[in-house]
A and B are shown apart, each in its own frame.
Chain A
Amino acid sequence: MNWQAIRAIYVFEMSRFFRTLLQSFVSPVISTSLYFVVFGAAIGSQIDQVEGVSYGAFIVPGLIMLSVMTQAISNASFGIYFPKFIGTIYELLSAPINFLEIVLGYVGAAATKALFIGVVILATSALFVDLSIQHPLAMLAFLVLTCLSFALFGFIIGIWAGNFEQLQLIPLLVVTPLVFLGGSFYSISMLPPVWQTISFFNPVVYLVSGFRWSFFGLADVPIGLSLLAIAGFTLLCLAIIWLIFKTGWRIRQ
């Protein structure tokens, strides 16, 4: 293992994050606050409680998931797309490193950034609502796994993308709808039966549900299933990335 290389990529990517700290930090805080104003104060005051939890608190896990997923994807996809775009990828390809080391460096950094933003949102939320976390360790595990798996997914998008529009395409057209329809802001049990069934085909439902369970002990799907879903998604992404590097698709001619 070329640990120096992993470290070099990680440090380099993180320095980009710190360079744009204001954007990285301020925008999630502001958007979270807006969600609380709209959903928590304006709409939430009309909704009593969801399964014994105040609506303001109920949406916190979904809100964190929403930001963490989109941030992990955009950081990882940009991280690997940018060297492709400006041509510095030649250095990665000519260095004595293998695909796992490249992935660990880029995905590790993207996941760290997403995790950081998740924690910032959690802290911001605590200013607006009373939060209790029933299973802190499980909460952390879910958060980290989500950061990692979506960063892997973002890495694939970054390699696939041929231009900046394509870089935005999947997050915008696929991920955001899945997250919004994945029970981030409601319980699946609130839906009519047909839509409940359809929802169970949405992978994000399992993540949000598991994450919410770690906060309040209530879930739409069994916690084991949630874990299985996220593990499966991670493995799938890893397998695709392995294949990409093996064939050199869109990287090595």
Chain B
Amino acid sequence: MPMVRISNVRKAYKDGFEALKGASLDIHEGEILALLGPNGAGKTTLISTICGITQPTSGTIIVGGHDVVTDYRGARSLVGLVPQEINLEPFERVMNTVRFSRGLFGKPKDDALLERILRELSLWDKRDNRIMELSGGMKRRVLIAKALAHEPRVLFLDEPTAGVDVELRRDMWEIVAGLKEAGVTIILTTHYIEEAEAIADRIGVINKGEILLVEEKTALMTRLGQKELRIELHDPVDALPEALADRGLRIEEDGQVLVYCYDTAQDRTGIATLIREVSEAGLVLRDLQTRQNSLEDIFVGLVSKQEDAA
């Protein structure tokens, strides 16, 4: 049984807008799953539906064996949520607000645990500060501390690095990696592809309320990830020499560059043969470059395919 099982969840709002169109997804214990999608794809709605902020129109969501609607107490006590917006009471003090979160989830007071959480998030020195005295990055850490205060087994991070500077983004990634080590299952949404690429174990692509694909990150990159070999020539060519005509080469940059696409997953890439053939055809090489297709290419490809189909 996966940690979270989302089965055919639909969410339609009163105005008729369908934010989720039958989404299904399994989230395994201990993994980091990145939900990747453009703005308005349904990422936040999906998270809100799992966490109890909105009710699904149809379909079921099971968290740790508890249905989020019929057994919401069981389900919600396993789940922590770090919202996208910095929703905090400005006049409240850090320690108080974290204590409040723990109590709200029905857990007895445990200041030793809260101290550990605050220390790990470098917030311990700020524990008596008012929220409004903190920087934006610190406020995000407070949100994480609040979500962790009741020792959740599943943590949802809704765009944890949206509008965050590079340094803080690195910090966030480290925090997430630390949580995974502590055994927390993590689901994060993002529209930064490099973020998913950097920290996720699995990647789900969501667009227009549909989950287009969920796969191991590495498998995804290998399966869809093609490599390009760019051969820069000493002298430009107008057309391909006869001998190279059936190799599927592409001429770019006014004949200065030949581009060869190949699949890294295959046994033989054909690079060695190609290079030999290029020199045999009398072309002089000046430089060679290879380039891996990024997740971005994959993502853009998937989303545009969906749009073509629609």
- Residues of chain A whose beta carbon lies under 8 Å from any beta carbon of chain B: 2-5, 7-9, 11-12, 15-16, 19, 82-83, 86-88, 90-97, 248, 252-253
Contacts and interface: CB of A to CB of B under 8 A. Distances in A.
Contacts of A19: 91
Interface string B128-149: 0000000000000000001000
B52 A94 contact: yes
B248 interface: no
B73 interface: yes
A36 to B, nearest CB: 34
A19 B90 CA distance: 13
26 contacts: A3-B106, A4-B104, A4-B107, A4-B108, A5-B103, A9-B100, A9-B103, A11-B103, A16-B91, A86-B87, A87-B83, A90-B83, A91-B81, A91-B87, A91-B101, A91-B104, A92-B104, A93-B51, A93-B53, A94-B79, A95-B76, A96-B77, A97-B104, A97-B106, A253-B13, A253-B53
A9 B104 contact: yes
Contacts of A7: 103
A2 B81 contact: no
Residue with the greatest number of chain B CB neighbours at <10 A, chosen from A4, A11, A15, A96: A96
A87 B53 contact: no
Contacts of B55: 248, 252
A106 to B, nearest CB: 12
B238 to A, nearest CB: 62
B89 A88 contact: yes
A130 B85 CA distance: 56
Interface in B31-52: 51-52
B101 to A, nearest CB: 6
Contacts of A11: 100, 103
Contacts of B281: none
A2 B107 CA distance: 9
B51 A94 contact: yes
A252 B73 contact: no
A96 B73 contact: yes
Interface residues of B, number: 33
Contacts of B306: none
A12 B85 contact: no
Contacts of B85: 87
A248 B81 CA distance: 20
Contacts of B83: 87, 90
Given A83-B89, A87-B87, A253-B54, 17 more contacts: A2-B106, A5-B106, A8-B103, A8-B104, A11-B100, A86-B88, A86-B89, A86-B90, A88-B89, A90-B87, A93-B51, A93-B53, A94-B79, A95-B104, A97-B73, A97-B104, A97-B106
B72 interface: yes
A88 B97 CA distance: 11
A86 B102 CA distance: 20
B76 A94 contact: yes
A19 B73 CA distance: 32
Contacts of A3: 106
Interface in B241-258: none
B260 interface: no
Contacts of A9: 100, 103-104
Contacts of A12: 96, 100
Nearest to B81: A94
Contacts of A83: 89
Contacts of B124: none
Contact of B100 (A2, A8, A86, A97): A8
Interface string B239-280: 000000000000000000000000000000000000000000
A169 to B, nearest CB: 24
Interface string B61-74: 00000000000111
Contacts of B87: 86-88, 90-91
A23 to B, nearest CB: 13
A96 B146 contact: no
Among A2, A7, A94, the one with the most B-chain Cβ atoms within 10 Å of its Cβ is A94
B81 A90 contact: yes
A113 B89 CA distance: 20
A4 B103 CA distance: 5
B105 A96 contact: yes
A82 to B, nearest CB: 8
Contacts of A96: 72-77, 105-106
Contact of B53 (A82, A86, A88, A94): A94
Q: Which of B77, B83, B100, B102 has the largest number of chain A CB atoms within 10 A? A: B100
B108 A252 contact: no
Nearest to A19: B91
Contacts of B99: 8
Given A88-B87, A96-B76, A8 B102 contact: yes
Interface string B188-228: 00000000000000000000000000000000000000000
Contacts of B81: 90-91, 94
B106 A4 contact: yes
Q: What 4 A-B pairs are tightest by C-beta distance, nearest first?
A: A8-B103, A87-B87, A96-B73, A96-B76
Contacts of B73: 2, 96-97
